[in-house]
Amino acid sequence: MDWHILAQQLVNGLTLGSIYGLIAIGYTMVYGIVGMINFAHGDVYMISAYVTAICLAVLFSFGIDSLPFALLVTLAVTMLITAAYGWTIERVAYRPLRGAPRLAPLISAIGMSLVLQNGVQLSQGAKTQGVPSLIPATLRFGEGNDFVQITLVQLMIIVVSLTSMAALTWLIQRTSLGRQCRATQQDRRMAAILGINTDRIISTVFVIGAAMAAIAGVLVTLNYGSFDFYIGFVTGIKAFTAAVLGGIGSLPGAMLGGLILGLSEALFSGMVNTDYKDVFAFSLLVLVLIFRPTGLLGKPEVEKV
């Protein structure tokens, strides 16, 4: 294999991995705080892709031609609406079920996921949707047929993901809200006794996770340009794989897991087979769970007896 193909796959993998990392944050934070997988999270990401396309279309129909402005507005609107979805999911499918049998919230989240997928399918149609290619600029290294190219959007994805990751880390580590989140994660009852409104914190975590997924949704839509109502399913499982790989409950772990998964998936599809890249990712999930269930950066779970 030539170096440039390898390098190209690395660039693609890095981009893909940043996206997985952003979505994985939602899984890992929610799992950390309520100890449950948010099965509807992948669909939240799917919603954000639709909102992005709709918002861009509306802005262009109003004749706004400043691209940076349009992108910023789209990002803001998408994050707002997607965050509202995250809040609603928590409010409807999780909060009424505090203290219910363990299976109940999982099932209601699956129900939520079906509602979102089918709801979007019903209102937007089943066909694949898309946005025009807005930022065609690419950087190219190399000459003739041997080149590596990185599009501006790919660069944006990597930069924006790292920035939002850093911002989120700051939020969790340095602010009062972050402290409350961490306290609730460690011991919900004790946090409540100390006067933290744990219901509000759990909502906040769902909202943050959804907002991160929204950033991923905007970036992916700009990069790939096409999506349908089913994208949340596969991407959701992969992002969850990333969260498990990095160690569920750990924020840097989510990003690290995302990058590793993205890179290995890109290398696999570049070197072995594209058809089986999803099979590869899912198999990776099973293997990680077997050999290192705590992930790379996760803490070993001490069973409470």
Partner 1 sequence: MPFTTALPATTGVRWTLVFRQAVLEATAAFALALLLLGPIVGLVLDGYEVKNELQRPLLIAAIIAIGRFLVALAMHTPAGQAMLERFNARRRQPGVLVVSIPESNRQRWWLLVIIALALSLPFLASKYWLTVLIQAMIYVLLGLGLNIVVGLAGLLDLGYVAFYAVGAYGLALGAQYLDLGFWSALPLAAMLAALFGCILGFPVLRMHGDYLAIVTLGFGEIIRLVLNNWLEFTGGPNGVAAPAPQLFGLEFTRTAKEGGVPFHEYFQIAYDPTHRFIFIYLALFLIVCLMVVVVTRLRNMPVGRAWEALREDEIACRALGINHVLVKLSAFMMGATVGGIAGVFFATYQGFINPTSFNFFESALIVAIVVLGGLGSTTGVIVAAVVLTILPELLRAFADYRVFTFGVLMVLMMIWRPRGLIRPRRRAFEVKGLCP
Partner 2 sequence: MTIDPIHPPILEVAGLTMRFGGILALNDISFEVKQGSISALIGPNGAGKTTVFNCLTGFYKATEGQIVLHTPRAAIDLINILGQPFRASDFINPAAFADRLYYKMFGGTHRVTRAGIARTFQNVRLFKEMTAIENLLVAQHLQLNRHLMAGLLQTAAYRQSERDALERAYAWLKVFGLAEDANRLAGELPYGHQRRLEIARAMCTGPRLLCLDEPAAGLNPRETAELSELIRRLRDEHEVTILLIEHDMGLVMGLSEHIVVLDYGEVIADGDPRTVAHHPAVLAAYLGTEAVNDDES
Applying CB under 8 A, the residues found at the interface with partner 2 are 299-300, 302-303, 305
Query: Shortest Cβ distance from residue 191 to partner 2 (Å)?
Result: 20
Query: Shortest Cβ distance from residue 7 to partner 1 (Å)?
Result: 27
Q: Which does 278 bind (CB under 5 to 8 A by kind): partner 2, partner 1, none?
A: partner 1
* 128: phi then psi, degrees, rounded to nearest 5: -70, 135
Query: Shortest Cβ distance from residue 21 to partner 2 (Å)?
Result: 26
- Residues 45, 27: Cα–Cα separation, whole Å: 12
Expressed in percent and rounded to 5, the helix, strand and coil fractions of the chain are 75, 5, 20
Query: Shortest Cβ distance from residue 101 to partner 2 (Å)?
Result: 9
Q: Indicate the residue among 36 and 183 with the shorter CB distance to partner 1.
A: 36
Q: Which does 113 bind (CB under 5 to 8 A by kind): partner 1, partner 2, none?
A: partner 1
Q: Indicate the residue among 103 and 305 with the shorter CB distance to partner 2.
A: 305
Q: Which does 299 bind (CB under 5 to 8 A by kind): partner 1, partner 2, none?
A: partner 2
Structure-block tokens of residue 46: 């799917």
Q: Indicate the residue among 103 and 302 with the shorter CB distance to partner 2.
A: 302
Q: Which of 80, 108, 93, 98 is nearest to 199 (CA)?
A: 98
Give every CB contact of residue 298 below 8 A, 6+ residues apart in sequence. Answer: 246, 247, 248, 249, 250, 253
Q: Indicate the residue among 45 and 240 with the shorter CB distance to partner 1.
A: 240
Q: Which does 136 bind (CB under 5 to 8 A by kind): partner 1, partner 2, none?
A: none
In Å, what is the CA distance from 48 to each residue of 53, 79, 182, 196?
9, 8, 27, 30
- Residues 84, 86: Cα–Cα separation, whole Å: 5
Q: Indicate the residue among 165 and 215 with the shorter CB distance to partner 1.
A: 215
